[in-house]
């Protein structure tokens, strides 16, 4: 039995074997079960009262006079302000003290009051605002049954079964979902997209489940979560190609699966998970390309280059920071070109010329076609309309101007050099409950991965110069290109901008443990380290998942003053 385990663990070779596919499937299933748990509800109101000119009023009637203390309401894709009136006889209406202010799209919110009434009138003051279903509660917290007094008013009561017992991240947007999920919804409905400062591809992918499942938290988080799952086999395969032993591939895949930052970020309905997956795939195919030799067929080499260019094009069409990946790929490609074609007993061939020409198509023409094609598929930008190349150029200039001149502040912004040591995670969500219970989501990384990765990156940098092996140079070039360019950016930045560099920090850790295992013969180090990583994942999982926990536990886990749970 020990021999079988040892053989399985130490199986050599860059290519995947049947057992590798089994390991990958198990890792994806286990992670998937956890990541899909409480990802979001599958139903929210989808019909709205649209405020438009004189069509700005809904009236509902209760069965009897009731003291109302709370009105739970849902906002659609446009926010607004409403004035509320109450009546006891249906004839004379008196305004409530406060206006109902919508402050987040596709989210539930409570309006607090203390008023006896039998009739409620809601008057919209903002054209185009959208009010979904509402639910009234009495002073004991019981739901109060209401009926619409006319057909127009019926839309705020027709999906009453979607009203949640508790407002939470599971049924409402949080953080930047108010931009990206909203834009995906607008793409689906061919409306002018409110979020225009990033290219369309990520939001278009986010939209796909909405076409079949409607607009709800599960649907607009689904594709990002799937992307997070797919990062596990992508990193596993890349590590297997690099380090040529199954145990190192398992370690790499485990690091991705057990990082709480990766977990929290991929469950958030934004586009960063697509960006990172596309970049990881582009680097995977590039590494496979540089691992080929001139003895391999030209067609095989061109296929690797095509997919590397295709996926970096997808990354750029998701976020401009994908260009940093393009820079790294260019450095790696030309370094490999020089190494293979110049020097003693090396010479330029016709295949090399064809590869250079193919790269123009793979890394310039294909990404441009993807980028431009996405805009012409989804041309409705607010305030820009993409009708031809000149309008796309104007929109691109406006995007650059926005990012270059953004002068904003945020309590969770952090400097680029602070990201590797988890100085200030972004606190995405918190909700407080009775008994000092709390549901909180922070993009906190697993300290057992992030902190040792700093040492590992130093080791890889030294080893790259010492041994000159391509895998070490590949890791360090990719990492630095995905991280250092942020040092030249003056706008506010956040920890999640480090996400594209994170897989290469994980590969650096694998390289370090390869040294500890192979050179220092510390055979059990990987298993011990895996257990440590797992323990830290379990410790921080509640603050990355929104799990209901005691406030004392969240406070106890605040190890640094800049960490907030």
Domains in the chain (CATH in brackets) are 2-39+197-556 (no CATH), 49-162 (2.60.120.260)
Per DSSP, 487 falls in state G
Q: What's the first-to-final CA gap in the chain, in angstroms?
A: 45
Tell me: cis bond preceding 99? Omega within 30 of 0 counts: no
Nearest Cα to 317, choosing from 376, 383, 404, 238?
Answer: 376
pLDDT in the model for residue 9: 80
Nearest Cα to 418, choosing from 321, 316, 276, 560?
Answer: 560
Tokens read off for 356: 């250079």
Q: Is the dihedral of CA 128, 109, 219, 238 positive or negative?
A: positive
Contact (Cβ atoms closer than 8 angstroms) between residue 377 and residue 204: yes
Q: How far is CA 486 from CA 270, 383, 406, 489, 552, in A?
A: 20, 28, 15, 5, 36
Phi, psi of 269 (to 5 degrees): -80, 60
Cα distance between residue 414 and residue 346, in whole Å: 48
Tokens read off for 518: 């192979």
Contact (Cβ atoms closer than 8 angstroms) between residue 202 and residue 227: no
Please state the length of the chain. Answer: 565
pLDDT in the model for residue 116: 95
Nearest Cα to 134, choosing from 105, 165, 163, 104?
Answer: 163
The SS3 of residue 30 is helix
pTM over 0.85: yes
Number of Cβ within 10 Å of residue 560's Cβ equals 12
- What residues have CB less than 8 Å from 412, skipping those under 6 apart? 424, 425, 426, 427, 494, 495, 564
Contact (Cβ atoms closer than 8 angstroms) between residue 185 and residue 177: no
Cα distance between residue 174 and residue 157, in whole Å: 24
Per DSSP, 420 falls in state G
CA Rg, the chain, in Å? 27
Residue corresponding to tokens 């076409």: 211
- What residues have CB less than 8 Å from 71, skipping those under 6 apart? 84, 100, 110, 111, 113, 120, 134, 135, 136, 137
The residues facing 57 across adjacent strands are 123
- What residues have CB less than 8 Å from 472, skipping those under 6 apart? 460, 463, 464, 511
pLDDT in the model for residue 405: 83
Tokens read off for 360: 């123009």
pLDDT in the model for residue 349: 85
The residues facing 120 across adjacent strands are 60, 86
pLDDT in the model for residue 301: 95
Nearest Cα to 280, choosing from 251, 304, 306, 315?
Answer: 315
- What residues have CB less than 8 Å from 338, skipping those under 6 apart? none
Contact (Cβ atoms closer than 8 angstroms) between residue 249 and residue 239: yes
- What residues have CB less than 8 Å from 296, skipping those under 6 apart? none
Cα distance between residue 429 and residue 426, in whole Å: 9
Nearest Cα to 11, choosing from 236, 248, 235, 239?
Answer: 248
In tens digits, the chain (565 residues) has pLDDT values of: 777 778 888 888 889 999 999 999 999 999 999 999 999 999 999 999 999 988 899 999 999 999 999 999 999 999 999 999 999 998 999 999 899 999 999 999 999 999 999 999 999 999 999 999 999 999 999 999 999 999 899 999 999 999 999 999 999 999 999 999 999 999 999 999 999 999 999 999 999 999 999 999 999 999 999 999 999 999 999 999 999 999 999 999 999 999 999 999 999 999 999 999 999 999 999 999 999 988 899 999 999 999 999 999 999 999 999 999 999 999 999 999 999 888 777 788 888 899 999 999 999 999 999 999 999 999 888 788 888 899 999 999 999 888 888 877 889 999 999 999 999 999 999 999 999 999 999 999 999 999 999 999 999 999 999 998 999 999 999 999 999 999 999 888 999 999 999 999 999 999 999 999 988 878 889 999 999 999 999 999 999 999 999 999 999 999 999 999 9
The SS3 of residue 532 is helix
Q: Name the maximum alpha-carbon separation found in the chain.
A: 98
Q: Between the CA atoms of 169, 499, 260 and 548, what dihedral angle is there, to the nearest 10 degrees?
A: -20
- What residues have CB less than 8 Å from 353, skipping those under 6 apart? none
pLDDT in the model for residue 187: 95
The SS3 of residue 428 is strand
- What residues have CB less than 8 Å from 9, skipping those under 6 apart? 246, 247
Contact (Cβ atoms closer than 8 angstroms) between residue 334 and residue 290: no
Number of H helices, E strands in the chain: 18, 12
């Amino acid at each position: 039995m020990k021999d079988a385990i040892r053989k399985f663990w130490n199986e050599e070779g860059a290519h995947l074997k049947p057992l590798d596919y089994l390991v990958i499937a198990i890792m994806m299933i286990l992670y998937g079960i956890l990541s899909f748990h409480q990802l979001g509800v599958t139903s929210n109101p989808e019909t709205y009262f649209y405020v438009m000119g004189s069509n700005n009023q809904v009236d509902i009637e209760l069965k009897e006079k009731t003291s109302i203390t709370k009105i739970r309401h849902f906002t659609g894709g446009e926010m607004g302000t409403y004035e509320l009136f109450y009546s006891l006889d249906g004839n004379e209406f008196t305004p409530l003290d406060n206006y109902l202010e919508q402050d987040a799209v596709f989210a539930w919110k409570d309006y607090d009051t203390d008023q006896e009434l039998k009739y409620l009138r809601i008057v919209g003051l903002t054209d185009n605002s959208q009010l979904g279903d509402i639910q009234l509660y009495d002073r004991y917290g019981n739901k109060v049954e209401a009926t619409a007094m006319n057909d127009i008013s019926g839309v705020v009561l027709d999906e009453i079964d979607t009203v949640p017992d508790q407002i939470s991240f599971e049924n409402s947007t949080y953080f930047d979902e108010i931009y990206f999920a909203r834009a995906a919804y607008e793409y689906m409905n061919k409306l002018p997209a409110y979020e225009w400062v990033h290219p369309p591809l990520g939001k278009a992918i986010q939209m796909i489940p909405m076409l079949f499942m409607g607009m709800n938290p599960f649907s607009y988080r689904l594709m990002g979560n799937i992307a997070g799952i797919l990062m596990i086999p992508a990193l596993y395969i890349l590590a297997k190609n690099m380090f040529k032993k199954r145990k190192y591939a398992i370690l790499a895949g485990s690091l991705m699966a057990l990082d709480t930052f990766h977990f929290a970020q991929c469950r958030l309905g934004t586009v960063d998970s697509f960006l990172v997956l596309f970049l990881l795939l582009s680097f995977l195919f590039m590494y496979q390309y540089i691992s080929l030799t001139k003895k391999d067929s030209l067609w095989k080499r061109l296929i690797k280059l095509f997919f590397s260019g295709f996926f970096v094009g997808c990354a750029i069409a998701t976020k401009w920071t994908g260009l940093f990946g393009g820079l790294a790929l260019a450095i790696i490609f030309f370094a490999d070109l020089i190494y293979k074609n110049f020097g003693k007993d090396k010479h330029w061939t016709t295949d090399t010329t064809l590869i250079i020409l193919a790269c123009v198509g793979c890394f310039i023409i294909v990404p441009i076609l993807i980028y431009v094609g996405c805009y012409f598929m989804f041309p409705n930008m607010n305030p820009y309309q993409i009708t031809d190349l000149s309008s796309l150029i104007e929109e691109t200039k406006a995007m650059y101007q926005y990012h270059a001149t953004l002068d904003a502040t945020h309590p969770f912004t952090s400097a680029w050099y602070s990201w590797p040591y988890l100085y200030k995670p972004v606190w995405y969500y918190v909700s407080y409950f009775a008994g000092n219970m709390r549901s909180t989501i922070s993009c906190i990384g697993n300290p057992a991965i992030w902190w040792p990765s700093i040492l590992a990156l130093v080791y890889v940098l030294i080893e790259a110069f010492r041994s000159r092996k391509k895998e070490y140079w590949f890791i360090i070039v990719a990492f630095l290109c995905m991280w250092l360019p942020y040092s030249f950016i003056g706008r506010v930045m956040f920890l999640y901008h480090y996400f594209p560099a994170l897989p290469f920090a994980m590969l650096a850790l694998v390289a370090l443990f390869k040294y500890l295992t192979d050179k220092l013969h510390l055979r059990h180090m990987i298993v011990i380290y895996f257990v440590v990583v797992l323990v830290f994942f379990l410790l921080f999982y509640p603050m990355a998942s929104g799990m209901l926990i005691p406030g004392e536990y969240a406070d106890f886990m605040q190890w640094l003053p800049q960490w907030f749970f």
